[in-house]
């Protein structure tokens, strides 16, 4: 099938299919950046409107690159150390940033948490394991420095959506089982034990975009799935080195853990093709005896919870909070 051919990224248009993909990619990125930018202009988007403060562009690696910066969202008034959220943005490993995901920082921080929202290197310039390697480095930094920002790293929550959901699900693997990758081993060696993992609308198996072909998707959507796969996992990466890019396959396997897996909350819209990945991951976690709650939102699109003014998005965030309330102590007066 033409749409399943590997993409080339040398700046040349190789075929009408690639031209369509690139045009679609530009359109999708412009849409999400425009939506995020417009929302950020609203008065309620300001952290101070929620009693919060934003500390921007803190380096978690000394590269000097914008890819290796993070933002901190935290309540201005803090009584003691607060739970810590590491947030990993989505965008198919190719687009978007911590700036486009300002809402996620606000929504968690206003529940009396210190949120570390990160950037990471993007494909296709930086294929796997670049995004994972960077995010894992950010996690180590957060564990070492959270106390400097009013956070309690012993109360760690991992959260992300789409590609970020993939990454935090992989972090849970690396924190509970010994891996050969040096960047994964470094995370395991911290001994950190997350309270919960919240991977929303995740693409949990990057390698095999053809699994969605039976759905008869519009070309614009199917192209984006292929683009995610071929951009982040080019054919040059051997299958035996892809485990943490395909965390779903690990969870579905009989691979052992040396520490208990944390509870998972898995929200997804039923209008999102990726709901099948959420369903599979839920079953895999249940088979492993892990506490897991999956929430399916009728007819909702990919990452719908970012459209915070909508009824379904508000319900999804309330479900996030209700799940966290079972595992994280917080001030009941938080809005």
Least confident stretch, 35-49, 68-82, 320-334? 35-49
What pLDDT is attached to residue 11?
44
- Please name every residue paired with 74 in a beta bridge, in sequence order, or none if there are none: 53
Residue 211 predicted with pLDDT over 90? yes
Per-residue pLDDT averaged across 195-211, rounded? Answer: 97
Residue 9 predicted with pLDDT over 80? no
* Dist CA 161 CA 168 (whole Å): 9
- Per-domain residue ranges of the chain: 2-325
Per-residue pLDDT averaged across 213-240, rounded? Answer: 91
What pLDDT is attached to residue 1?
37
Report residue 172: phi and psi, to 5°: -60, -35
What pLDDT is attached to residue 5?
37
Residue 333 predicted with pLDDT over 60? no
Average predicted confidence (pLDDT) for the chain:
90
* Dist CA 130 CA 151 (whole Å): 27
Long-range contacts made by residues 42-51, C-beta under 8 angstroms, separation at least 24? 45/102, 45/103, 45/106, 47/73, 47/106, 47/109, 48/76, 50/106, 50/109, 50/110, 50/335, 51/75, 51/76, 51/77, 51/110
Per-residue pLDDT averaged across 304-320, rounded? Answer: 96
| 3-state SS, one letter per residue, for 217-255 | CCHHHHHHHHHHHHHHCCCCCCHHHCHHHCHHHHHHCCC
Say which DSSP state 292 is in. Answer: E
- Please name every residue paired with 267 in a beta bridge, in sequence order, or none if there are none: 295
CA dihedral 230, 233, 239, 243 (to 10 degrees): -130
* Dist CA 204 CA 96 (whole Å): 19
Give the 3-state secondary structure of residue 153.
Answer: strand
- Short-list 143, 106, 83, CA closest to 329: 83
Residue 6 predicted with pLDDT over 50? no
Give residue-wise pLDDT tens across range 98-145.
999 999 999 999 999 999 999 999 999 999 999 999 999 999 999 999
Residue 4 predicted with pLDDT over 60? no
Cβ neighbours for 207, distance < 8 A, ≥ 6 positions apart: 229, 233, 239, 242, 245, 246
Sign, Cα dihedral of 182, 183, 186, 192: negative
Cβ neighbours for 233, distance < 8 A, ≥ 6 positions apart: 127, 128, 206, 207, 242, 245
Per-residue pLDDT averaged across 244-259, rounded? Answer: 98
Q: How confident is the model at residue 267 (pLDDT cuts 50, 70, 90)?
A: very high
Confirm if 18 and 7 have CB atoms less than 8 A apart.
Answer: yes
The DSSP string of 65-116 is -GGGEEEEEEESS-SS-EEEEEEE--STTTS--TTTTHHHHHHHHTTT-EEE
What pLDDT is attached to residue 26?
54
Per-residue pLDDT averaged across 240-267, rounded? Answer: 97
Domain 2-325: which CATH class? alpha beta
Residue 35 predicted with pLDDT over 70? no
Kindly state the percentage of the chain with pLDDT values over 90.
Answer: 81
């Amino acid at each position: 099938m033409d749409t399943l051919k590997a993409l080339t990224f040398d700046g040349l248009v190789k075929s009408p299919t690639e031209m369509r993909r690139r045009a679609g990619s530009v359109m999708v990125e412009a849409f999400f950046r425009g939506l995020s930018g417009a929302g950020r202009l609203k008065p309620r988007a300001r952290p101070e409107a929620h009693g919060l403060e934003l500390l921007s562009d803190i380096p978690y690696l000394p590269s000097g690159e914008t890819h290796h910066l993070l933002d901190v969202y935290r309540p201005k008034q803090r009584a003691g150390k607060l739970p810590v959220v590491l947030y990993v943005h989505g965008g198919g490993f190719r687009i978007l940033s911590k700036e486009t995901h300002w809402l996620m920082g606000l929504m968690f921080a206003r529940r009396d948490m210190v949120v570390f929202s990160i950037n990471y290197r993007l494909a296709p310039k930086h294929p796997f394991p670049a995004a994972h390697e960077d995010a894992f480095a950010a996690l180590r930094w957060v564990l070492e420095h959270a106390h400097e920002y009013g956070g309690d790293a012993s109360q760690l929550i991992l959260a992300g959506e789409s590609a970020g959901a993939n990454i935090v699900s992989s972090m849970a693997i690396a924190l509970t089982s010994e891996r050969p990758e040096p960047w994964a081993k470094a995370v395991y060696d911290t001994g950190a034990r997350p309270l919960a993992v919240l991977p929303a609308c995740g693409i949990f198996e990057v390698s095999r975009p053809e699994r969605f072909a039976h759905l008869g998707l519009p070309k614009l959507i199917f192209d984006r799935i292929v683009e995610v796969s071929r951009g982040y996992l080019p054919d040059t990466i051997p299958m035996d080195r892809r485990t943490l890019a395909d965390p779903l396959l690990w969870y579905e396997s009989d691979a052992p853990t040396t520490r208990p897996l944390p509870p998972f909350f898995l929200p997804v819209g039923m209008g999102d093709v990726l709901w099948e990945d959420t369903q599979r991951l839920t079953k895999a976690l249940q088979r492993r005896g892990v506490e897991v709650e999956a929430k399916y939102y009728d007819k909702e699109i990919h990452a719908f919870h970012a459209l915070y003014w909508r009824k379904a998005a508000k319900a999804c965030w309330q479900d996030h909070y209700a799940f966290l309330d079972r595992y994280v102590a917080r001030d009941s007066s938080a809005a």
